[in-house]
Amino acid sequence: MGGGIGIVVESRLGLVMVHGFMSGPKVWEPLRALIVADRSLGFVQPLTFEYATGLLPISPLRVFPSIDTVADSLREYLATEAGAFDHLLLVTHSQGGLVAQRYLARMLQDGRGGELARIQRLVMLA
């Protein structure tokens, strides 16, 4: 053993939650609260990805983004907000699953499949 000071880096898991159609990040609050309250899950960091969704825009000048646009936003979110995590778990609901699938497909299509290695699991609900 060397004489230097040993630094233990705790392995953390970024849990990225992607909401569905006509929803938002608040839908994940009960799950987030359970994770935070469970000491055995102290290594898990809940993160919520938000995007605009709905039936009718509030203003006629505003449109909702396409699945491709949201998938590109998810790519940026994972690179920035979740960039510090070597391991990610994506949990999606409804349209959020379509967003995640499109993100994965676009990454593979762009030859960036190696960057997906940190995504340990994708869970799609409904």
Q: For residue 74, give the CATH number of its domain.
A: 3.40.50.1820
Q: Is residue 9 part of a domain?
A: no
Q: For a pLDDT cut of 90, what percent of the chain falls above it?
A: 80
Is 3 a domain residue? no
- Answering whether pTM is above 0.75, one says yes
Between the alpha carbon of residue 28 and those of residues 10, 18, 46, 60, 105, the distances in Å are: 25, 9, 9, 29, 25
Q: Does residue 98 lie in a domain region?
A: yes
53 three-state secondary structure: coil
Does 79 map to a domain? yes
59 or 115: whose pLDDT is higher?
115
In a domain, 8, yes or no: no
Burial of 19 (0-12, 13-18, 19+ CB in 10 A): buried
Q: What is the pLDDT, as a whole number, of residue 57? A: 61
Instruction: Count CA atoms within 13 Å of residue 2 on its CB side.
Output: 4
Q: Which pair of structure tokens corresponds to residue 96?
A: 């959020």
How far is it, in rounded angstroms, from Cα 57 to Cα 61? 8
Containing domain of residue 105, as a range? 15-125
- pLDDT at residue 10, rounded to an integer: 58
Residue 4 lies in a domain: no
The CA-based diameter of the chain, rounded to the nearest angstrom, is 67
More confidently predicted of 86 and 61: 86
* Residue 50 token pair: 């938000």
| Residue 4 pLDDT | 46
User: How many structural domains is the chain composed of?
Assistant: 1
Give 8-62 pLDDT, tens digit per residue.
Answer: 345 899 999 999 999 999 999 999 999 999 999 999 999 999 999 976 666 666 6
In a domain, 2, yes or no: no
Q: Is residue 10 part of a domain?
A: no
Digit-coded pLDDT (tens) for 56-68: 666 666 678 899 9
Compute the C-alpha angle 102/103/104, nearest 5°: 90
